[in-house]
């Protein structure tokens, strides 16, 4: 998608602070961090949101989760724990229409999500 900000990061058209990358997934620091550690785990294929997953592309979810495990080790938050968030669509507060998982750590989150 030519006008997608995350596709531009994947293509190297926009710089990012990359933490981890493989053939299928890229992980970079959020430009506006909501926690001491805040990275975005993003599939390289353009999928609009969680709702755009289907039988053809669902395998990417396993790849995203594997990348999360690599990332939390790299960032040293795997032992203490962290929060994973996916916003979906307008009511979910999704602002970038390219599937991404937020991984947040380096602090203690409360019990409540909202």
Query: What is the phi/psi pair of residue 41, to 5°?
Result: -105, 115
Residue 7 binds which entry of Zn ion, ligand 5GP, none, with Cβ cut-offs from 5 to 8 Å by kind? Answer: Zn ion
Q: Which stretch binds ligand 5GP (CB under 6 A): 28-36, 58-66, 72-80, 106-114?
A: 28-36
The rounded distance, in Å, linking the Cα atoms of 27 and 39 is 7
100 is catalytic: yes
CB of 101 to ligand 5GP, least distance (A): 9
Name the strands in the sheet holding 25-29, side by side, starting at the edge strand that comes first in the sequence: 18-21, 25-29, 37-43, 101-105, 83-85
Spatial CB neighbours of 31, under 8 Å, sequence gap ≥ 6: none
- Asked if 14 touches ligand 5GP (CB under 6 A), the answer is yes
Can you tell me whether residue 70 is helix, strand or coil? Answer: helix
Minimum gap (Å) between residue 62 Cβ and ligand 5GP: 21
Q: Is 44 in the site for Zn ion (CB under 5 A)?
A: no
Query: Per rule CB under 6 A, is residue 71 in the interface with ligand 5GP?
Result: no
> Which residues are part of the catalytic machinery?
100
């Amino acid at each position: 998608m030519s006008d997608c900000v995350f596709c531009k990061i994947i293509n190297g058209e926009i710089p990012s602070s990359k933490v981890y990358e493989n053939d299928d997934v890229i992980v970079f620091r959020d430009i506006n961090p909501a926690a001491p550690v805040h990275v975005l785990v993003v599939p390289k294929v353009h999928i609009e949101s969680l709702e755009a997953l289907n039988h053809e592309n669902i395998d990417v979810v396993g790849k995203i989760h594997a990348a999360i495990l690599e990332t939390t080790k790299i960032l040293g938050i795997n032992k203490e724990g962290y929060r994973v968030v996916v916003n979906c669509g307008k009511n979910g507060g999704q602002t970038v229409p390219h599937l991404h998982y937020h991984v947040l750590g380096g602090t203690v989150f409360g019990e409540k999500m909202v």
